[in-house]
Amino acid sequence: MVSTTDTKKKESKIQGIKVSHVEDVTKQLLEDSINTALEKVSRYNRNKSLEDLFQDHDFFEQFNYILSTKIAELFAQNDERIQAVYQFGESMNPGSESGEYLPIDPCVHLLCLVEKSSAGLKAYIDGLDRALTKEMVDLPASCYAKLSSVLDIIIITKEDVQKRKGYASLLKSLHAPPLCVWRRD
Amino acid sequence: MILKQDKVKPQKDKTKEHGGMLGTALWILEKAFDRIELDEGLRAIIRQSERELIVSVPINRDDGSVSVFTGYRVQHSSARGPCKGGIRYHPGVELDEVRAMALLMSLKCAVAKLPFGGAKGGISVNPSELSQNELERLTRRYAAMIMPIIGGKRDISAPDVNTNPQTMAWFMDTISTLQQRMVPEIVTGKPLSLGGSQGRFEATGRGVAIAVVESLNRMGLDSVGATVAVQGYGKVGRHAAAILLNEFGSNVVAVSDVSGGLYATQGLDLELINDFLDNEPNSLFDDIKSNERFERVSNEELLTLDVDVLIPAAIENQITERNANDVQARLIVEGANGPTSYSADEILDDRGIIVVPDILANVGGVICSYYEWVQDLQSFFWDLDEVRKNLSKTMQIAFNEVWSFAEEQKVDLRAAAYMLAIKRIAEAIQYRGLFP
């Protein structure tokens, strides 16, 4: 979890965010996500290099979740119309009973529940995606090496959820429920 | 039958008592009960879970504090065999949801004629907030807490949302340690090195492909050259498309992922597409350079293409009353869970479009899970060919019995699958009678 001090530190950065600052924010975001994920690795993985850890499903999922949470916080502070952000996985499927690990999916899949969709938010997401992708290509993980875009953000409204339209239907899904990573109280 | 209607108290309408998924599951059940005119006593037994256990799962956190989570294990029915069902870790897990999923597992196992009843379990937790060591302690404590009601011949667990082969390995090790003997049959979905089964990577997709071929046969159509559109190119859709093309000569004309779809009337070069996706990690169809050999379509457009077969293998609720009238396929085979809404189902049925329901079409994963259990019990492991051969046979039998039953009862395949599943469960209860 992000500490209060960390959050305050980040807030001061985020409130004044400009395109030129996005790179600094993403650098910090990645560093924090890796460090938090490293704290959570199992005792068998403590001595592994970051390169090896990025090939481990459990480490990867932790990292991806922490990154998703931090991205969601950024979005929410940038746009007050965001009500909640959910992490969803392409991997949730009817074959789960047989227990097959799926190939590591480096993408950050988020459902962004907004009061109303705006061009500003979309532009912000695009900017953040570009900066984040640029940073992540340099991570010691083969899955990021040829990455062209890391963020897969789907903007949905309350109406979409009520009508169970497209990916908004996942919010009421029994089989593939997404994880809420941020919610406006 | 030993149960008489007049001996049974009138039941309240359970579907009205429960909202959400349990309400929906019970509604499905009631419809099928009425259609087969099932004895009221048997209805009462099937409506209710056989056993429900709520456990407290305390764990030591890495920082020295203690957290307590709530875990569940619901066994819906053991009439046809040991209960079988996954374990999910999610903050939204609650009793009614677990009950609904356990009931649906009973029906799914019965449709496939597997000698299992249904169960489901889970812990209300956000697993991503825990470290790996905390997750291990959580799994081990949960396994120990539900141990009194589980067993290789009583209740077999499996992975579900946010659990995986590692979780199953911890679970199996905990029970093995407590019982002082190796019990690999206590869970399925284990790593291969601990008794997992070959073929699981493609089992669901292969099952979908077999359902397509069998349906086409029954419709008097040939799978060779049949045009196929697949929405969702993940684990299920990708394998189903490849198997239909390479083993059954179908013409896969359209596929899509979250970014959109590719369409070519003469058929897509799946090998080329798969090479691209394998060599360009995280790439989507959107990243594939346009050329004259295909055109781009949206996910919505893909659903209404003029094809013989449509396989919705992405997410729920894709075919609804909004687009059901525009669907041109003659056959829909549900690779995903719940891709067709109930209102769309009625429209499709009126239009004569055949829908192979999820409970039958995507049962391949559960069948493979059954094979894992069988292999673990025998300590004799099959090669991939053996798994594939058996999967084809089991799927063909399950499919053809549902089809024949639908014809006999003059209902659609979804109704037939539920009716047949309930009939099988009811028959087992009847033969066994009630103890004492």
User: What pLDDT is stored for residue B298 in this prediction?
Assistant: 92
Q: Residue A13 has what pLDDT?
A: 42
Helix (H) or strand (E) holding B74, with range, is: strand B66-77
Same domain, B355 and B216: yes
Do B21 and B115 share a domain, yes or no?
A: no
pTM comes to 0.90
In Å, what is the CA distance from B356 to each residue of B33, B88, B202, B340, B393?
Answer: 20, 27, 19, 11, 18
Task: For residue B329, give the CATH number of its domain.
Answer: 3.40.50.720
Say if residue B319's pLDDT is above 60: yes
**For residue B46, pLDDT beyond 70:** yes
Question: Does B181 lie in the same domain as B139?
Answer: yes
Question: pLDDT grade, residue B10 (50/70/90)?
Answer: very low
The structural domain count of chain A equals: 1
Q: Which of B361, B392, B419 is the last residue of a domain?
A: B361
Q: Is the pLDDT at B15 greater than 70, yes or no?
A: no
Query: Residues for chain B: how many in total?
Result: 436
Residue in chain B lying closest to A148 (CA): B283
| B56 and B182 inside one domain | yes
Q: Which of B166, B234, B281 sits opposite A58 (nearest CB)?
A: B166
Model confidence over B85-115: pLDDT tens digits?
999 999 999 999 999 999 999 999 999 999 9
B132-185 pLDDT per residue, tens: 999 999 999 999 999 999 999 999 999 999 999 999 999 999 999 999 999 999
Pair B76, B39 in one domain: no
SS3 state of residue B317: coil
- Residue B389 resides in a domain: no
pLDDT of the residue at B282: 60
Q: How far apart are CA B207 and CA A114, in angstroms?
A: 39
* pLDDT, tens only, B48-58: 999 999 999 99
Look at residue B140 and tell me if it is in a domain.
Answer: yes
Set of chain A residues whose Cβ sits within 8 Å of the Cβ of B365 = 94-98
**Is the pLDDT confidence value at B11 over 50?**
no
Domain range for residue A171?
4-183
Written as six digits, the tokens of B25 are 């599951």
B209 plus B357 within the same structural domain: yes
Number of separate domains in chain B: 3
Q: How confident is the model at residue B262 (pLDDT cuts 50, 70, 90)?
A: very high
Q: Which of B361, B391, B409 is at the close of a domain?
A: B361
Q: Which stretches of B249-328 are DSSP H helices?
A: 270-279, 299-303
Query: Do the chains contact at B132 and A62, CB–CB below 8 Å?
Result: yes
Q: What's residue B316's pLDDT?
A: 85
Judge if B281 and B230 occupy the same domain: yes
Q: Which residues of chain A have pLDDT under 50?
A: 1-20
3-class state of residue B258 by DSSP: coil
Identify whether residues B120 and B264 lie together within a single domain.
no
Q: Does residue B78 belong to any structural domain of this protein?
A: yes
| Separation in Å, CA B164 to CA A61, A97, B167, B196 | 12, 9, 5, 12
| Residues B242 and B224 grouped into a single domain | yes
DSSP letters of B134-181? HHHHHHHHHHHHHGGG-BTTTEEEEE-TT--HHHHHHHHHHHHHHHTS
Distance from CA of A18 to the nearest CA of B (A): 28
Answer with the one of B361, B385, B416 that is the final residue of a domain: B361
Q: Are residues B271 and B249 part of one domain?
A: yes
Which domain does B14 fall in, by range?
Answer: 1-48
- Provide the annotated active-site residues of B: 120
Residue recorded with tokens 């395109």: A19
Task: Give the residue from chain A lying closest to B137, CA to CA.
Answer: A42
